[in-house]
């Protein structure tokens, strides 16, 4: 009796906790006038204790990032620069295996706008965001900024009037006939800038600085790797000898070599400045997370990898090097700078691949990372020229140029080929095409590193390799290392987590066989699964309420509704720690029909199924539909949320949320007894 009473009290307390609408962020807004027709739209959120809200820069495959929509912008106003965010925290999430960026206590978003239609009276903004503690809530906030009267410039027509040519008017009418909300919305993904220095002051204790130091050391290592390529390494003794022999005295030679090194740094840092100036400090970040960017970079890396293996050589136009060489003959500082530029041009076929990778990594970090990256790369490239000029005796310790340089180049080509598929995987994950699932990705890597092992052991050769002879000890050791790594990858096909490379392959659930190739479990495939079902967690699972309920009626089983989210970290923890319990799993697999409804599914509903709630909420996506179901039926907006239904669709249990295994099992058993 005591056990029954305890169970009822536990269920009541759980139900009371989860069945409520939570609003952990309280928003305020204000308008700040800058000039006659320019304003700052300022949105400030106060976040409840123990809750945290995710930034729009939290990477894909992680928690749900903030998105902003600026309504009806066309012909009315322009966004000046990027939406600035107040400083956030950065922390690695070991469930999603990505860094997550989030705020605690408060958040401030600032967007500068320039009014181009003087008749405009209001600007509407919508923010969609996720907040979490033990549970997660996907919420939105709507802002309406009332504008004062905007002065009209008498000496020129407004941009709005100028834009309304007959053709533009026709296009505008056509767009309106479709869907104004989509056509007149500017996504925050195109306009955001959270890492601008004005909103992210440098703080020695900030985790953001760790990113910059990481970028620097990665770039520094890339610079040293570039030194060991056939395009750069032979230039060291040639260049140092030139300075020491052509200079009037030793000190002049050292001075010229140091100027030469500084010139190399200036050239590459200038390149970083130009890229940052053209694309903006954080536009690179938006590009780096774009599907098409990942596909294009995949193609470029494959081309570079094939070039490194000796199929062809990528070089900049010879005319560039010739013009720069003529400038180098002038001598003095201009001549030294020209020599450094000539090195950059001539060595591009080897350094280009490092620079490209470096800029992509820096782009993902945003801010001044491209500058830091180019500085680290060029510093490593320049140091040997300066040091060997100061200490020319060291030259005798340098290994002579030879076939080993081509081996280094081919080795890097194999690594680039492997890295290329990470970018293709990124695009596939975002689009959910399932073309490059975990098994396929691992098979590709096993093939690449297996071929690299054979190359290092001299079993295969590339066009520019020297005739095979005795293998050096270093090459044998490197071959053993790649062989070990190749063998390490193989168990991944059977479901091994491969923690050493967890950030590279697709996640475990994104695979043909979520439990590993050849794993035993539910013997199901696409042909034998019920219509509309998928196999997830080794269980028949539906992602549509109506189809799942219809199947439950046909087999006369109760239903478990699982309100979840792709970006819900505690949903993944429940699935990994509670659902995998043997007793829990047996009940869910054999006695229930699982219906998982993703509240953050951004796929649009057919227009015939879209509607507006009495409260004014637009239900446009699949996720909107399931979110509205949790609110209207269960008076809550948090995930995870679980409830048991009878085959007739009526509730047979209170809701339950993020709990331990014992509580969850007791809830399952109590519900099934009904």
Provide the token pair at 323. 């013009």
CA dist., res. 667 & res. 630, Å (int): 19
Q: How many domains is the chain built from?
A: 4
Annotate 167-196 with b (16+ C-beta within 10 A) or e (fewer): eeeeebeeeeeeeeeeebbbebeebbbbbb
Q: Is it the case that residue 248 has pLDDT exceeding 80?
A: no
CA atoms within 13 A on the CB side of 104: 8
Nearest Cα neighbor of 267 from 165, 167, 379, 175 is 379
**What per-residue confidence (pLDDT) applies to 40?**
92
Interhelix angle 250-279/235-246, rounded to 10 degrees, is 130
Q: Are residues 180 and 223 in the same domain?
A: no
Q: Are residues 338 and 251 in the same domain?
A: yes
Q: Are residues 462 and 491 in the same domain?
A: yes
Q: Are residues 482 and 548 in the same domain?
A: no
| Contacting residues for 247 by C-beta, under 8 A, at least 6 apart | 253, 255, 256
List, as one string, the DSSP characters of 579-618.
TTSHHHHHHHHHH-EEEEEETT--PBPPGGG-EE-TTS-E
Last residue of a domain, one of 341, 367, 398: 398
Query: In this prediction, what percent of the chain has a pLDDT beyond 90?
Result: 17
Nearest Cα neighbor of 504 from 485, 519, 484 is 485
CA 113 to chain centre: 28
Last residue of a domain, one of 346, 370, 398: 398
Region of poorest pLDDT, from 206-220, 442-456, 600-614, 626-640: 206-220
Q: Are residues 159 and 274 in the same domain?
A: no
User: Does 200 or 528 have the greater pLDDT score?
Assistant: 528
The domain of 288 spans: 209-398
Given a contact cutoff of 8 angstroms between Cβ atoms, the answer to whether 76 and 115 are in contact is yes
Q: Are residues 463 and 575 in the same domain?
A: no
User: Does 174 or 351 have the greater pLDDT score?
Assistant: 351
- Section 188-204 average pLDDT: 33
Identify whether 513 is part of a domain: no
- Section 606-616 average pLDDT: 86
Given a contact cutoff of 8 angstroms between Cβ atoms, the answer to whether 22 and 136 are in contact is no
What confidence tens digit (pLDDT) does each residue in 533-550 have? 888 877 889 999 999 999
Last residue of a domain, one of 169, 193, 217: 193
Q: Are residues 384 and 416 in the same domain?
A: no
Provide the token pair at 542. 């539906």
Confidence category of residue 452, pLDDT binned at 50, 70, 90: very high
| Summary mean pLDDT of the chain | 76
Per 3-state DSSP, what percentage of the chain is helix, strand, and coil (rounded to 5)?
A: 50, 15, 35
CA dist., res. 11 & res. 634, Å (int): 15
Given a contact cutoff of 8 angstroms between Cβ atoms, the answer to whether 379 and 220 are in contact is yes
Q: Are residues 311 and 416 in the same domain?
A: no
Q: Are residues 42 and 148 in the same domain?
A: yes
Q: Is it the case that residue 578 has pLDDT exceeding 80?
A: yes
Identify whether 490 is part of a domain: yes
Provide the token pair at 19. 């069945």
Q: Are residues 434 and 490 in the same domain?
A: yes
- Section 615-623 average pLDDT: 84
Given a contact cutoff of 8 angstroms between Cβ atoms, the answer to whether 628 and 595 are in contact is no
Annotate 629-642 with b (16+ C-beta within 10 A) or e (fewer): bbbeebebbbbbbb
CA dist., res. 81 & res. 41, Å (int): 13
What is residue 42's three-state secondary structure? strand
Q: Are residues 274 and 383 in the same domain?
A: yes
Q: Are residues 169 and 42 in the same domain?
A: yes
Identify whether 3 is part of a domain: no
Identify whether 203 is part of a domain: no
What confidence tens digit (pLDDT) does each residue in 379-427 have? 988 888 788 777 766 666 666 655 667 788 788 889 889 988 988 887 7
Instruction: Identify any residues that bridge with 139 across adjacent strands, giving them in sequence order.
Output: 129
């Amino acid at each position: 009796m005591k056990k029954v009473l305890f169970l009822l009290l536990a269920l009541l307390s759980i139900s009371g906790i989860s069945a409520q609408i939570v609003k952990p962020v309280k928003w305020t807004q204000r308008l700040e006038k800058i000039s006659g027709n320019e304003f700052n739209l300022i949105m400030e959120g106060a976040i409840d204790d123990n809750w945290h809200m995710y930034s729009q820069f939290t990477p894909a495959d992680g928690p749900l990032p903030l998105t902003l929509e600026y309504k009806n912008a066309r012909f009315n106003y322009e966004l000046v620069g990027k939406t600035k965010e107040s400083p956030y925290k950065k922390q690695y999430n070991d469930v999603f295996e990505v860094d997550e960026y989030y705020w605690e206590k408060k958040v401030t978003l600032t967007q500068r706008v320039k009014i181009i239609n003087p008749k405009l009276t209001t600007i509407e903004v919508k923010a969609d965001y996720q907040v979490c503690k033990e549970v997660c809530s996907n919420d939105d906030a709507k802002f309406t900024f009332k504008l004062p009267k905007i002065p009209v410039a008498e000496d020129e027509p407004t941009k709005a009037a100028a834009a309304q040519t007959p053709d533009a008017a026709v296009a505008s009418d056509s767009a309106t006939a479709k869907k104004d909300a989509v056509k007149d919305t500017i996504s925050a993904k195109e306009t955001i800038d959270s890492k601008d220095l004005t909103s992210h002051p440098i703080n020695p204790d900030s985790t953001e600085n760790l990113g910059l130091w990481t970028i620097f050391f990665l770039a520094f290592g890339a610079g040293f790797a570039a030194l060991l390529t056939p395009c750069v390494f032979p230039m060291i003794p040639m260049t140092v000898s030139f300075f020491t022999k052509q200079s009037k005295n030793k000190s002049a030679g050292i001075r010229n070599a140091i100027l030469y090194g500084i010139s190399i740094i200036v050239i590459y840092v200038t390149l970083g400045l130009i890229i940052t100036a053209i694309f903006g400090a954080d536009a690179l970040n938006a590009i780096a997370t774009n599907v098409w960017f990942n596909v294009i970079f995949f193609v470029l890396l494959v081309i570079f990898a094939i070039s490194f293996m000796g199929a062809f050589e990528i070089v900049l136009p010879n005319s560039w090097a010739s013009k720069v060489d003529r400038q180098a003959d002038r001598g003095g500082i201009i001549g030294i700078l020209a020599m450094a530029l000539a090195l950059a041009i001539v060595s591009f076929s080897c350094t280009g691949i490092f620079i490209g990778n470096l800029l992509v990594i820096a782009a993902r970090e945003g801010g001044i990372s491209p500058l830091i990256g180019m500085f680290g790369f060029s510093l490593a490239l320049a140091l040997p020229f300066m040091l060997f000029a100061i200490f020319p005796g060291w030259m005798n310790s340098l290994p002579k140029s030879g076939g080993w340089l081509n081996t280094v180049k081919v080795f890097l080509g194999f690594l680039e080929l492997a890295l290329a598929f990470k970018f293709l995987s990124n695009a596939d994950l975002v689009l959910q095409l399932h073309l490059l699932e975990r098994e396929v990705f691992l098979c590709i890597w096993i093939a690449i590193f297996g071929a690299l092992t054979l190359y290092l052991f001299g079993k295969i050769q590339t066009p520019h390799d020297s005739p095979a002879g005795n293998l050096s000890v270093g090459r044998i050791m490197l071959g053993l290392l790649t062989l070990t790594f190749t063998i390490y990858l193989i168990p991944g096909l059977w479901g091994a987590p491969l923690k050493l490379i967890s950030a590279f392959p697709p996640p475990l659930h994104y695979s043909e066989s979520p439990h590993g190739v050849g794993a035993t479990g539910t013997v199901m495939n696409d042909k034998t699964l019920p219509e509309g079902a998928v196999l997830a967690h080794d269980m028949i699972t539906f992602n549509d309420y109506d189809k799942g309920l219809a199947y439950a009626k046909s087999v006369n089983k109760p239903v478990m509704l699982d309100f979840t989210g792709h970006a819900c970290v505690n949903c993944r923890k429940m699935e990994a720690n509670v659902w995998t319990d043997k007793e829990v799993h047996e009940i869910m697999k054999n006695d229930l029909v699982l219906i998982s409804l993703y509240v953050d599914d951004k796929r649009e509903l057919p227009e015939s199924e879209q509607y507006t709630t009495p409260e004014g909420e637009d239900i446009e996506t699949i996720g909107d539909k399931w979110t509205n179901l949790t609110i209207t039926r269960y008076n809550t907006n948090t995930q995870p949320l679980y409830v048991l239904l009878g085959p007739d669709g009526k509730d047979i249990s209170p809701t339950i949320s993020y709990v331990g295994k014992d509580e969850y099992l007791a809830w399952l058993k109590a519900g099934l007894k009904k």
